[in-house]
Chains A and B, each alone.
Chain A
Amino acid sequence: MNYRRESQRDIRRLVLQMAYDAGVGHIGSALSVADILLALYQDVLNIPSPDDRQRDRFVLSKGHAALALYAVLHMRGWISAEDLKTYCGDNSLLGVHPDQVMAGVDFSTGSLGHGLSMAAGSALAARMQDSSRRVYVLISDAECNAGSVWEAAMFCAHRELSNITAIVDCNGQQALGYTRDVLDLQPLAARWQSFGWHVEEVDGHDIDALSTALAASTRTSSPRVVIANTTLGSGVSFMERLVHWHYWPMNEEQFKQALKEVSGEET
């Protein structure tokens, strides 16, 4: 198994294990962003250590996918296996949504539509401090329902903040249905473009493609958005593209089946 496949397997196993142990859901969302986070934390983000002032910043605006963030922070060695086990337990820093008190989490999130604005401030700060650090922010496609996303989008383009990259986890689903039925976002790429952003679309489960798109240095003065086409529940056949798995936790049988599938043992 190559390195990519191995890390894709590891992050999914961690997500499933934590979710099952805690008896909580949001598994589909975590699996949707798993490969984006691998690309960011293995190839793209320049973070010598989580308290380095000049590190790149990352905002998980769709905070409900924090499971995958904790898994990847563990893979980087910044969350211990012991701490990982406390997920959703009493007195744990690892809640369903991430909190900036925890080393490795730059901003607390959980309320959708908040992250891009904080990231815009972070990117403006880097610009004003003459720092080469970059800011990445992962938002969901349904999050683009929120007007605040477009306030921040306008600001970034107006200020020519080319040091910010937004990633849209475009899985076409939201809490109560498919985005096309709830509040149609299309044409999403054209909308971002019309707001003055440089737009790229990639397969959100192809780590090489993601890393290439995310790490690209921008020659233009525009902020960048990478629309990552993803599958909710990616890697677990019975979760994929089902709205049910936005929230739902697994029973024992489902957990065992899911673990086998992501481990490549059977499908």
Chain B
Amino acid sequence: MRKAFINALVELSQRDERILLIAVDLGYTVVEPYQEAFPERFINPGVCEQNAMAMATGLAEAGFIPFVYSIAPFATARPYEFIRNGPALHHSTVRMVGVGGGFEYGPAGPTHFGIDDVGLMRLLTGTTIIAPADAAQSQSALRATWDLRGPVYYRLGKDDAYVLPGLEGAFELGTAQRLREGKDVCLISLGALARESEDACRQLETGGIQAGHILISSVEPFPTDMVLEKIVDVPLVVVAEAHVPAGGIGERIGTMIAENGLSCKLLRCHAGREWDGRSGSHTYCLERDGLTGSAIATATEDMLQNKNA
């Protein structure tokens, strides 16, 4: 996804000379195509995330559209106040690009996990948040949003090969993508975790459960009406997100259910078990937090059985 995103950024930069890429000394084997195509518009300021965000604010004031690229926690949590008082406060055309949303940097350990990035960015009023599900969608999302007014956060994954079935790269700001229809349960996924939810849907189908599935890649603006329309008639909503519960989309959907007086139950599958010092692969981290397809399916089945009991 990250390479596809950079390639699309190279294409856009050919027709919009305002675009810059600030890679905060990260992005080896990913950012080079940009650096080669636009050596003057590629900036590596060294290991200084807050400085990078503030400089991007200064560049944006002069008319540039800087993309600040790093690993998700270093593009959000590390320079947080400089984003808050910079791009967010100034309504700047600065783009924060965080790679490795969720547990994609599993073996690197918790300093590298991107499991609170969306929540942090949601706290900043006026910030657009985009979490693509696959490489093609990361490109269409970029093409739809690069010149938006105000800051944008892109939560990217590392996997450039995976293709989410049925998505075909579709993206529209403020819209969710319907991947499946089903009357028994509606799964709602945040970005790249849709891959696991699709596995969960297949497992549920095998057990005779008809599962609908919606992808949220436009987190902010949130596709409220569309989600509401899909969950109004189902008995159970399952939200799957590689993110801590605070600030995630599960919290948001729970609020929506309460505000609209819906009778459905809500199951939230999320990250954020207490850290025990043991790291492992991306899959290991998903398993540990109950976020693999089979774990999501099993939790859904349990919930449906309890409901029926």
Q: Are B82 and A114 in contact (CB under 8 A)?
A: yes
Chain A residues 77 to 108 lying within 8 A of chain B, measured CB to CB, are 100, 106-108
B58 at the interface (CB under 8 A from A): yes
**How far apart are the CA atoms of A112 and B43 in the complex, in Å?**
25
Chain B 48-75 near chain A by CB (<8 Å), digits 1 or 0: 1011011111111111101000000000
Q: Are A118 and B57 in contact (CB under 8 A)?
A: yes
**How far apart are the CA atoms of A145 and B227 in the complex, in Å?**
49
Chain B residues 34 to 48 lying within 8 A of chain A, measured CB to CB, are 40-41, 43, 45-46, 48
| A217 partner residues in chain B, CB cutoff 8 A | none
Chain A residues 141 to 157 lying within 8 A of chain B, measured CB to CB, are 148, 151-152, 154-155
Stretch at the interface among A3-11, A122-130, A184-192, A247-255: A122-130
Q: Are B40 and A128 in contact (CB under 8 A)?
A: yes
| A123 partner residues in chain B, CB cutoff 8 A | 58
B81 at the interface (CB under 8 A from A): yes
Q: Are B48 and A125 in contact (CB under 8 A)?
A: no
Chain B residues 73 to 102 lying within 8 A of chain A, measured CB to CB, are 81-82, 85-86, 89-90
**How far apart are the CA atoms of A119 and B62 in the complex, in Å?**
11
Chain B proximity of A145: nearest CB distance (Å)? 15
Chain B 239-255 near chain A by CB (<8 Å), digits 1 or 0: 00000000000000000
A267 at the interface (CB under 8 A from B): no
Q: Are B58 and A117 in contact (CB under 8 A)?
A: yes
Question: How many residues of A are counted as interface, with CB atoms below 8 angstroms from the partner's CB atoms?
Answer: 28
Q: Are B58 and A118 in contact (CB under 8 A)?
A: yes
Q: Are B63 and A125 in contact (CB under 8 A)?
A: yes
| A107 partner residues in chain B, CB cutoff 8 A | 57-58, 61, 90
Q: Are A117 and B82 in contact (CB under 8 A)?
A: yes
| B62 partner residues in chain A, CB cutoff 8 A | 121-122, 125-126, 129
Most A CB within 10 A of own CB, among B55, B64, B66, B90? B55
Given the interface contacts A108-B90, A117-B82, does A124 sit within 8 Å of B59 by beta carbon?
yes
| A148 partner residues in chain B, CB cutoff 8 A | 48, 50-51, 54, 82
Q: Report the nearest B residue to A122, measured CB to CB.
A: B58
**How far apart are the CA atoms of A121 and B86 in the complex, in Å?**
12
**How far apart are the CA atoms of A111 and B81 in the complex, in Å?**
9
Given the interface contacts A119-B58, A122-B59, does A155 sit within 8 Å of B51 by beta carbon?
yes
Q: Are B85 and A111 in contact (CB under 8 A)?
A: yes
Q: Are B48 and A151 in contact (CB under 8 A)?
A: yes
A120 at the interface (CB under 8 A from B): yes
Chain A 143-178 near chain B by CB (<8 Å), digits 1 or 0: 000001001101100100000000000000000000
**How far apart are the CA atoms of A128 and B20 in the complex, in Å?**
11
Q: Are A117 and B59 in contact (CB under 8 A)?
A: no
| A124 partner residues in chain B, CB cutoff 8 A | 43, 55, 58-59
A110 at the interface (CB under 8 A from B): yes
**How far apart are the CA atoms of A125 and B60 in the complex, in Å?**
8
Most B CB within 10 A of own CB, among A100, A108, A114? A114
**How far apart are the CA atoms of A55 and B225 in the complex, in Å?**
45
Q: Report the nearest B residue to A99, measured CB to CB.
A: B89
Chain B 266-280 near chain A by CB (<8 Å), digits 1 or 0: 000000000000000
Q: What are 26 A-to-B residue pairs whose CB atoms are below 8 Å?
A: A100-B90, A106-B61, A107-B58, A107-B61, A108-B89, A108-B90, A117-B54, A117-B55, A118-B54, A118-B58, A118-B61, A119-B58, A120-B51, A121-B66, A122-B58, A122-B62, A123-B58, A124-B58, A124-B59, A125-B59, A128-B41, A148-B82, A151-B46, A152-B51, A154-B46, A155-B51
Q: What residues of chain A have their CB less than 8 Å away from a CB belonging to chain B?
A: 53, 57, 100, 106-111, 114, 117-126, 128-129, 148, 151-152, 154-155, 158
Q: What residues of chain B have their CB less than 8 Å away from a CB belonging to chain A?
A: 40-41, 43, 45-46, 48, 50-51, 53-64, 66, 81-82, 85-86, 89-90
Known: A108-B85, A148-B82. 9 other contacts (CB 8 A): A53-B63, A106-B61, A107-B58, A107-B61, A107-B90, A117-B51, A123-B58, A125-B62, A155-B55
